[in-house]
Amino acid sequence: MQKEKTVSRSEKIAMVAITRHGAKRLQQLGPKLPHADLYISEKFLTEVDHIPNRIEAITPPVRGAIATLFKRYDQLLFLFSIGAAVRLIAPCIHSKEEDPGVVVIDDAGHFVVPILSGHLGGANAFANQIADLIGAQPVITTASESLGTLPIDILGRELGWKNEAPKATLTKVAAHMVNGEPIAFVQECGSKAWWEKGKPLPSNIQLFDRFETIDPSQFSAILWVTRREITESTRNQLIDSLVVYRPPKPVVLGIGCDRGTALETIEQALELALSAAKLEYTSVSAIATIDKKSDEVGLLALAEKYSWPLHFYPADELAQVEVPNPSETVLKYVGTPSVGEAAALLLAGATMDKLIVEKHKYRGMDGRNATISIVPIEII
């Protein structure tokens, strides 16, 4: 099955309880999602205190309050029955492209059920996250998850992929997929992590590494991961059966840091550097640094957390790379005038004019310094 992404801190989350049991459960769950806002029936507000979440009372009529939340948040979590949830959100539902994810937890906290926008709205991923936090069973009913096949509309989304197919084509291809019809999956670029490692692919999917090696007439649909331009004749020929996925252009990171720099400091430095370059985490393909950092705990944790390969270079090799910001201090302590910039350029096989972030410096709350350099990889 495709990996589900964890709902990010940037998504706006509201958790709603209108019963005493629900309020008590939010007392436990709230601190595990401190950025979520809690909405609790006014008469049960005393059940929740001393937690980091923003808390607001819900006053009758509840339907009006839910309608407001429906427009304001990306994910809604209801701690009451599915029947009540359905009746409350029914007047608000518009389309799966626009509606938030809606998830319900039963009163006993045994089951977590996404009931709206499982794929595009992220409710399936959110339900899995909540289930992990409270030790409950997620109940996922969308066809691709329950049948163990590919969700056509969000395939590769956690990797930054964008699809170019019209809605009608996505619907038709999704039907071919869940009906077990032959599907060609052509991957010419991008991460291979779109399928859970160790899980067998559905038997109706056949893999190819070049579009030219397939016979389109043998397949009901073609999923094509590429950076190539698609000719008009190809699109017209496969108008109802072709879904093209575009991975983000890959970059590599060069990272330097003080000894003992915390993971949180390196992540904050990286977030700021990526933001400055208008890049996402999904664009990153690998990390490079000096071999003296091969045991740096924060750096190793970063690579493991995001499954990024980590490359190490000796100081004498880094010292041969021309960089825009050499440092005599760095040279004195580690034997090369540059770590991050030089390592990124070496890994990308690029010259310094290709740097899109030269040497972003950040000092964390731990008092340690980290620098991030970013270089794109020139591939098709």
Domain boundaries, the chain: 13-141, 152-238, 251-376
> Is the predicted pLDDT of residue 205 greater than 60, yes or no?
yes
pLDDT category, 280, cuts 50, 70, 90? confident
d(CA 84, CA 101): 16
Q: Is 3.30.70.890 the CATH number for 251-376?
A: no
> If 0-12 CB within 10 Å is exposed, 13-18 middle and 19+ buried, where does residue 104 land?
buried
> Lowest mean pLDDT: which of 196-205, 220-229, 267-276, 289-298?
196-205
Q: Which of 104-113, 147-156, 192-201 has the highest mean pLDDT?
A: 104-113
> Is the predicted pLDDT of residue 146 greater than 50, yes or no?
yes
What's the average model confidence in pLDDT over 121-130?
A: 90
> If 0-12 CB within 10 Å is exposed, 13-18 middle and 19+ buried, where does residue 162 land?
exposed
Secondary structure class of 174 (helix, strand, coil): helix
- pLDDT tens digits for range 147-163: 678 889 889 887 888 99
d(CA 107, CA 130): 14
Q: What percent of the chain stands above pLDDT 70?
A: 95
Say which residues have a Cβ less than 8 Å from residue 224's Cβ, sequence separation at least 6: 186, 188, 211, 230, 242, 243, 244, 245
What's the average model confidence in pLDDT over 78-103?
A: 92
What backbone torsions phi and psi does residue 156 show, to the nearest 5 degrees? Answer: 75, 5
pLDDT for position 266? 97
Q: Which helix (H) or strand (E) holds 55?
A: strand 54-58
CATH class for the domain made up of 13-141: alpha beta
For the beta carbon of residue 25, count every other beta carbon within 10 angstroms. Answer: 21
> Lowest mean pLDDT: which of 14-18, 48-52, 118-122, 171-175?
118-122
- pLDDT tens digits for range 288-326: 999 999 999 999 999 999 889 999 999 999 999 999 999
Q: How far is CA 291 from CA 248, 330, 357, 361, in A?
A: 29, 14, 22, 20
Could you tell me the pTM of the whole model?
0.58
